[in-house]
Amino acid sequence: MARPRAKELTERELEIMHIFWDRGESTAADIRDVLETQGRELAYTTVATLVRILLDKHFLTQTGFERPFRFKPARTFEEVSRSLLGDLVNKVFGGSRSRLLVQLLGEEKLTPKERERLLKILGCRDQQPKGRK
């Protein structure tokens, strides 16, 4: 019995999705050409298969029925990244966003710009980072 298709994105599928998010509506040949300019030489049939899988997984929609077939993202980068990050938090950090933040922030110091942005996100707009006046 065949295994059901995974709903998550593989590394290659995510790579293809990034190109669709950057370009918008494209053909499999367009995507293959972009990959080639990035130093990734994949056969057209490989890219077409990945596009078909993304269509089956509902990450892409077909925009017409004339050849060459054109596709566009069915889900935004924000939707997909939020979902992937949520899965990561649940699987790796037991659902704890604070454990994720501790792990992320414990690795290296934030730049002043990153710190400012984080404070803004956390609603600390009135608080100035230490060492600033």
The residues spanned by each domain of the chain are 11-73, 77-121
Cα(21)–Cα(19) distance, integer angstroms: 5
Q: CB neighbours of 32 closer than 8 A, spacing ≥ 6?
A: 42, 44, 47
Q: What is the pLDDT of residue 132?
A: 47
Residue 133 confidence class, pLDDT cut points 50, 70, 90: very low
Longest dimension (CA), the chain: 66
**What's the CATH code, domain 11-73?**
1.10.10.10
Most confidently predicted of 59-63, 64-68, 90-94, 110-114: 59-63
Position with higher pLDDT, 72 vs 114: 72
Q: What is the pLDDT of residue 85?
A: 92
pTM for this structure? 0.76
Q: What is the pLDDT of residue 125?
A: 53
Q: Are 97 and 89 in contact (CB under 8 A)?
A: yes
Cα(71)–Cα(28) distance, integer angstroms: 8
Q: Which DSSP state fits 25?
A: S
